[in-house]
Amino acid sequence: MPTWAQFVLLSAAKSVVVIIILLTAVAYAVWLERKVVGRMQNRWGPTRVGPFGLLQPLADGIKFILKEDIIPTNVYKPLYIAAPMISVALALMSIAVVPFGEQLRFGSFSTPAQITDVNVALLVLLGVTSVAVYGVALAGWSSNSKYSLLGSLRASAQMVSYEASLGLSLIGVLLLSGSLSLREIVNGQSGTYFGFLPRWNFFPQFIAFFVYLTAAFAETNRIPFDLPEAETELVAGYHTEYSSMKFAMFFMAEYTNMFTVACVGTLLFFGGWHGPALTFLPMVVQSFVPLFWFAFKIFLFLFLYIWIRGTLPRFRYDQLMAFGWKVLLPIALANIVLTSLYIGLTTP
Amino acid sequence: MMHTVLFIIFAVVCVAAAINLLAQRHPINSALSLIVVMGSLALLYLLLGAEFVAAVQIIIYAGAIMVLFVFTIMLLNAGEEELSKSSRVAIVFGVPAVAVIVAALAYILSRGAGTAALGDFIGGPKEIGRLLFRDFLLPFEVTSVLILIAIMGAVVLARREER
Amino acid sequence: MPDNYLASYLPLLIQFLLVGAIAGGMVTLSWLIGKHKNTAAKLMPYECGMAPVGDARQRFSVKFYLVAMLFILFDVEAIFLYPWAVIFRELKMFGFWEMLIYVLVVLGGFIYVWKKGVLDWSRADSDQIVALPDRAPAGSR
């Protein structure tokens, strides 16, 4: 087999494996959310399907496919169908540049634990995020329903407003690492400060992390920024008119985006796959320890998402817009100026 | 080899989307075609080794400027356009202009294309940064004034002063 | 080949084709499997059981447009900061001063926008709004 065919096959295989794992993880993130929020509200969450309700995601998936697929009369059909596809496809795109660990070894064969390592990985992520607005905007517009249109206008305006702060919050990390490659950013965080504190960007850049986290919550339309689908005023926001699998696709896109946010947060601020070496484990599993740390940090991020959902109420829309522009943006700018001043003064 | 194949694919997509932009009668379809044009342009930049510019093309053009277009179409409730009879301006100025461009392109191509090898220069963020912040400092600083003027222009256009 | 520049982007193309196929497959599959029993009421736009009044596509507040416009400008600003941040250690304090001038000029525009009240979403003076369906709390007009 020629080398290029091997290369294409290997990367396609990697993509398939990563997408399958990601979609499974997304399904179980929904289960985890229902379980945890259930316990926070003093109820059980799903218990009926399988032990601890573990088969619930499977049951939900089957139900979504079997449900009647309604396309209302007044919708603009091509875009109405395209919108959920855009949302899901773009959500699944960003995982391609995320590194999960160093090298994966299976006997003599080894390959980087990443679909592809590009020089401008962070910009690819930002590009995908910026184009993702269309899924929401077109869904609302093509539905030709008042709730949908209002929800999608709100959602798009919210997403672009917080995208500005999101983009600016990452610059503090870039000042420290001097690279846009996610792999190099993570490698710059190995080692420790003062011999005990992990050399994570979180410690010098905790302001940037706060801005990033807030902006990312708003980007993914999660509580406390879930205005676009504020049930009490807008029914279900931009996906009011969607049913069956198309509705599920928006849902999947939302949860996949949560994973992307968790991945980027882990890579940029929490040292990616770096963690204590677990030397007591046998050699066979040693190469998977970084993967474990990465997955563990992602889990903590997701738990934070769910915890906040169980705790905070929703913002009012004017508060939300004012917060994004008047609070987050100035903080992000100030952080850039301060960080660059410090680095400029201390670099010989 | 693969380079050429990819170039042809993306170039065809780009031109087809541009033609579709003109042919569509609903503004939202035209806007979406323009997004496809921007995306395939970004891929063409990528093939030339300009990875930073390609990413910027997506983020700014496809992700920000086109959002404004789509927003405007949504806000104004722009519906289907009616086909007008071809305007006189288009015939008097447009056709000769197209002829001039085609002639110029044909002349340049007939003289033989340049021989710059692809991939000699990778336009990554560091290379762009060195050029922008060392050699072309003044144009960079002037951009900030441009942004300032654009901000003011947007506000002035969008809201009338209270009287 | 994997060391090659183009080869690092090829997997992105493969991923794109894959996710496109997945997205298309989901829509088609559910359309084929799900049953279709359409009634006129089922195909109406959802308005909590009321009969829909008028067209959904009305004109909306110009503020949405302003937000998109401001977003473009701050996005452009941020894009310039990326290559700057990446080579900041080479530029040192010189880089700090050139960026400070840049940020201060843009900040001037930001303060102008702030003072003009563009960022106050709830302030709804009548002549800048075409139609305001999601009006802020009472007393703002």
Q: Are residues B9 and B50 in the same domain?
A: yes
How confident is the model at residue A88, as a pLDDT?
Answer: 92
Averaged pLDDT, A320-341: 89
CB A91 within 8 A of CB A257: yes
Kindly report, residue by residue over A164-220, the tens digit of the pLDDT. Answer: 899 899 998 998 888 888 888 888 888 777 777 788 888 888 899 999 999 998 888
CA A26 to chain centre: 10
Half-sphere exposure at residue A121, Cβ-oriented, CA atoms within 13 angstroms: 28
Give the total number of structural domains in chain C: 1
| CB proximity list for A27: less than 8 A, separation 6 or greater | A57, A58, A60, A61
A70 φ, ψ (degrees, to nearest 5)? -95, 130
How does DSSP classify residue A241? T
B152 φ, ψ (degrees, to nearest 5)? -65, -40
Domain span at C69 = 54-140
| C33 contact residues in A (CB cutoff 8 A) | 65-66
Residue C41, domain member (yes or no): no
Residue C133, domain member (yes or no): yes
Rounded to an integer, what distance in angstroms lies between the CA atom of residue A274 and that of residue A133? 33
Q: What is the CATH number of the domain that holds B26?
A: 1.20.120.1200
Answer yes or no: is pLDDT of A106 > 90. Answer: no
Cβ separation of C1 and A4 shorter than 8 Å? yes
Distance from the Cα of B88 to chain A's closest Cα (Å) equals 34
Q: Is A110 helix (H, G, I), strand (E, B) or coil?
A: strand
Whether the ipTM is more than 0.90: the answer is no
Q: Is A109 helix (H, G, I), strand (E, B) or coil?
A: strand
> What confidence tier does B163 reach under pLDDT thresholds 50, 70, 90?
very low
Cβ separation of A69 and C67 shorter than 8 Å? no
Half-sphere exposure at residue A11, Cβ-oriented, CA atoms within 13 angstroms: 24
Question: Quick one: which H or E segment has residue A279?
Answer: none
Answer yes or no: is pLDDT of A146 > 70. Answer: yes
Kindly report, residue by residue over B16-36, the tens digit of the pLDDT. Answer: 999 998 888 888 888 899 999
Whose CA is closest to C134, among B158, A228, A74?
A228
Answer yes or no: is pLDDT of A284 > 80. Answer: no
Q: Are residues B103 and B84 in the same domain?
A: yes
Note the pTM of the prediction, 2 decimals. 0.86
How confident is the model at residue B63, as a pLDDT?
Answer: 86
| CB proximity list for A81: less than 8 A, separation 6 or greater | A71, A246, C27
Nearest CB to C11: which of A11, A157, A175?
Answer: A11
Higher per-residue confidence, C85 vs B80: C85
Rounded to an integer, what distance in angstroms lies between the CA atom of residue C95 and that of residue A169? 19
Averaged pLDDT, A258-279: 86
Whose CA is closest to A7, among C6, B119, B42, B3?
C6
Lowest-pLDDT choice from A51-60, A148-157, A277-286, B29-38: A277-286
Residue C48, domain member (yes or no): no
For the residues of chain B, what is the DSSP string, one character each?
-HHHHHHHHHHHHHHHHHHHHHH-SSHHHHHHHHHHHHHHHHHHHHHTT-HHHHHHIIIIIIIIIHHHHHHHHHHHT--PPPPPPPPHHIIIIIHHHHHHHHHHHHHHHHT----PPTTSS---HHHHHHIIIIISHHHHHHHHHHHHHHHHHHHHHH-PPP-
How confident is the model at residue B11, as a pLDDT?
Answer: 92
Mean pLDDT, chain A, as a whole number? 85
Q: Are residues B25 and B37 in the same domain?
A: yes
R_g over Cα of chain C? 25
Cβ separation of C12 and A235 shorter than 8 Å? no
Q: Are residues B15 and B89 in the same domain?
A: yes
R_g over Cα of chain B? 20
How confident is the model at residue A335, as a pLDDT?
Answer: 92
Cβ separation of B28 and A180 shorter than 8 Å? no
Q: Could you tell me the end-to-end alpha-carbon distance of chain B, in angstroms, rounded to an integer?
A: 66
How confident is the model at residue A19, as a pLDDT?
Answer: 92
Question: Hey, is the C-beta of A299 within 8 angstroms of any chain B C-beta?
Answer: no
Question: Hey, is the C-beta of B137 within 8 angstroms of any chain C C-beta?
Answer: yes
B27 φ, ψ (degrees, to nearest 5)? -55, -35
Domain span at B137 = 123-163
How confident is the model at residue C70, as a pLDDT?
Answer: 86
Rounded to an integer, what distance in angstroms lies between the CA atom of residue B103 and that of residue B88? 23
| C22 contact residues in A (CB cutoff 8 A) | 19, 88-89, 92
R_g over Cα of chain A? 21
Cβ separation of C78 and A171 shorter than 8 Å? yes
Rounded to an integer, what distance in angstroms lies between the CA atom of residue B67 and that of residue A134? 7
Q: Are residues B140 and B78 in the same domain?
A: no
For the residues of A175-218, what is the DSSP string, one character each?
HHH--S-HHHHHHTT-SEETTTEE--TTTTTHHHHHHHHHHHHH
Q: Are residues B90 and B150 in the same domain?
A: no
How confident is the model at residue B118, as a pLDDT?
Answer: 59
Beta strands in A59-191 (DSSP E): 103-106, 109-112
**Structure tokens belonging to residue C45:** 């736009």
How does DSSP classify residue A106? E
A92 φ, ψ (degrees, to nearest 5)? -80, -15
Residue C76: how many other CB atoms lie within 10 Å:
20
Residue C116, domain member (yes or no): yes
Nearest CA in chain B to C6: B47
Q: Please give the C-alpha separations between residue A269 and each of A186, A204, A272, C95, in angstroms, as whole numbers.
A: 9, 9, 8, 24
- Identify the chains in contact with B, defined as 3+ C-beta pairs within 8 A: A, C
Determine which of A162, A174, A246, A320 to mutate to test the interface with C (most C C-beta atoms within 10 Å). Answer: A174
Averaged pLDDT, A123-127: 90
| CB proximity list for A184: less than 8 A, separation 6 or greater | A177
Q: What is the CATH number of the domain that holds C120?
A: 1.20.58.1610
How confident is the model at residue C124, as a pLDDT?
Answer: 53
Question: Hey, is the C-beta of C112 within 8 angstroms of any chain A C-beta?
Answer: no
Give the total number of structural domains in chain B: 2
Q: Is A122 helix (H, G, I), strand (E, B) or coil?
A: helix
Rounded to an integer, what distance in angstroms lies between the CA atom of residue B132 and that of residue B52? 13
CB A158 within 8 A of CB C64: no
Q: Are residues B94 and B37 in the same domain?
A: yes
How confident is the model at residue A54, as a pLDDT?
Answer: 86
Q: Are residues B68 and B44 in the same domain?
A: yes
Residue B155: how many other CB atoms lie within 10 Å:
19
Residue C16, domain member (yes or no): no
Distance from the Cα of A120 to chain B's closest Cα (Å) equals 7
Cβ separation of C11 and A116 shorter than 8 Å? yes
**Structure tokens belonging to residue B148:** 């300032």
Rounded to an integer, what distance in angstroms lies between the CA atom of residue A225 and that of residue A258? 13
Burial (CB count within 10 angstroms: exposed 0-12, middle 13-18, buried 19+), residue A6: exposed
Percent of chain C scoring above 70 in pLDDT:
67
How confident is the model at residue B114, as a pLDDT?
Answer: 63
Q: Are residues B163 and B99 in the same domain?
A: no
For the residues of A221-281, what is the DSSP string, one character each?
T-TTS-GGG-HHHHTTGGGTT--HHHHHHHHHHHHHHHHHHHHHHHHHHS-TT-----TTS
Q: Are residues B155 and B77 in the same domain?
A: no
Beta strands in C13-102 (DSSP E): none
CA C64 to chain centre: 10
Q: For tokens 């992307």, name the residue.
A: A260
Whose CA is closest to A159, among A87, A232, A89, A215?
A215
Alpha helices in A220-243 (DSSP H): 231-234
